[in-house]
Amino acid sequence: MVKLIATDMDGTLLNAAHEVSQENVEAIQYAQSQGVTVVIATGRAFYEANDPIMATGLKVPYICLNGAEVRDESFDIVHTSSLNHGLYQRIRETLNNENMYYQVYTNFGIYTEDPEKDLAIYLDIAKHSGQKGDAEKIRQHIQHRIDLGTLKVVDNYDDIESVPGELIMKVLAYDKDLDKIERVKKQLSESSNLAVSSSSLGNIEITHIDAQKGLALQAIADQLGIDMADTMAVGDNLNDKSMLERAGVAVAMENALPELKDIATFVTDSNENSGVAKAIYRALGKEE
């Protein structure tokens, strides 16, 4: 029986409006009422992931930054995995050599050199998801994050490592040239200490090898004394693959990449049609 469920956010739990549907909320509440632990597993930083979840009133643990940070239901950090100086500089050198734009995620915030390029990323992600992004709304959201201080605009990334206590958790790179994306993925994957994945066509998410959703899910299951055979993972993209490979029940969204559907126990409905809720009810044997 499923006792632990991990769900991705973008393209999975969240719809195109970046909201959690009421059906998904009620399904998670039902699972929790049955004693099942439901975990959010996302490439987002906690300060980005918490907003849409907080609006629902749900209390859940978080696997953030693809596993680079894990928080409990009280938001306390229980695990971190960061990139050391050598790994970070190798990533920077590779991306700079390819003239590829990237953001740097730390435990203090997200650094960008150009918010307009961030806008282009969001619009392209929406396009590849079959959706039309609202440029003005996205621009307002970016400015809101800048005002809050979670998105930090800098001239360059040279001084990030000099900030006391700041840890580099993830680097998110982007380019419209998909051949370049594959070439850079291959280069970075040659390092046995890096985990290289994607959350959307056209981007690369780079973390320490220990920072993977599947490893974080395994650690939570071990802490709770739950066998991995009694876990379920739901996702849509490559950064979800490690947890689908380890979970007892692997669920791919209808809008997921074929590579995830190939390893899935079953395929649920799309993120626009509350596919997470349908997967939860199916796994727990409840008729909708």
DSSP conformation letters of 266-284: EE---GGGTHHHHHHHHHT
Task: Specify the amino acid at residue 274.
Answer: S
- The segment(s) of the chain belonging to CATH 3.30.1240.10 are 85-208
- pLDDT (tens digit, 9 = 90+) per residue, 23-76? 999 999 999 999 999 999 999 999 889 999 999 999 999 999 999 999 999 999
- pLDDT (tens digit, 9 = 90+) per residue, 150-195? 899 999 999 999 989 999 999 999 998 999 999 999 999 999 999 9
| 45 in Cβ contact with 55 (< 8 Å) | no
128 confidence band (pLDDT: 50, 70, 90): low
More confident residue, 144 or 123: 144
Size (the chain), residues: 288
Q: Is the pLDDT of residue 118 over 90?
A: no
Q: Kindly list the distances between the CA atom of residue 56 and the CA atoms of 21, 23, 63, 252, in Å, as whole numbers in the listed order.
A: 9, 11, 18, 23
- Average predicted confidence (pLDDT) for the chain: 93
Alpha carbons 15 and 52: distance in angstroms, whole number: 11
Which CATH code, of 3.10.20.30, 3.30.43.10, 3.40.50.1000, 3.40.50.80, is assigned to 4-81+211-284?
3.40.50.1000
Alpha carbons 242 and 51: distance in angstroms, whole number: 25
Residue 144's pLDDT is what? Answer: 85
Alpha carbons 124 and 130: distance in angstroms, whole number: 10
With the CA atoms of 3, 199, 130 and 20 taken in that order, what torsion angle do they form, in degrees rounded to the nearest 10? 40
Beta bridge partners of 7: 40, 234
Q: Is the pLDDT of residue 133 over 70?
A: no
Which CATH code, of 3.40.50.20, 3.20.20.140, 2.40.70.10, 3.30.1240.10, is assigned to 85-208?
3.30.1240.10
- pLDDT (tens digit, 9 = 90+) per residue, 216-249? 999 999 999 999 999 999 999 999 999 999 999 9
| Predicted TM-score (pTM) of this structure | 0.92
Residue 288's pLDDT is what? Answer: 61
Q: Note if 8 is an active site residue.
A: yes
- The segment(s) of the chain belonging to CATH 3.40.50.1000 are 4-81+211-284
- For residues 122-130, give the mean pLDDT: 67
Q: Is the pLDDT of residue 124 over 80?
A: no
Choice among 8, 10, 118, 240 that is catalytic: 8
Tokens of 206: 């780079």
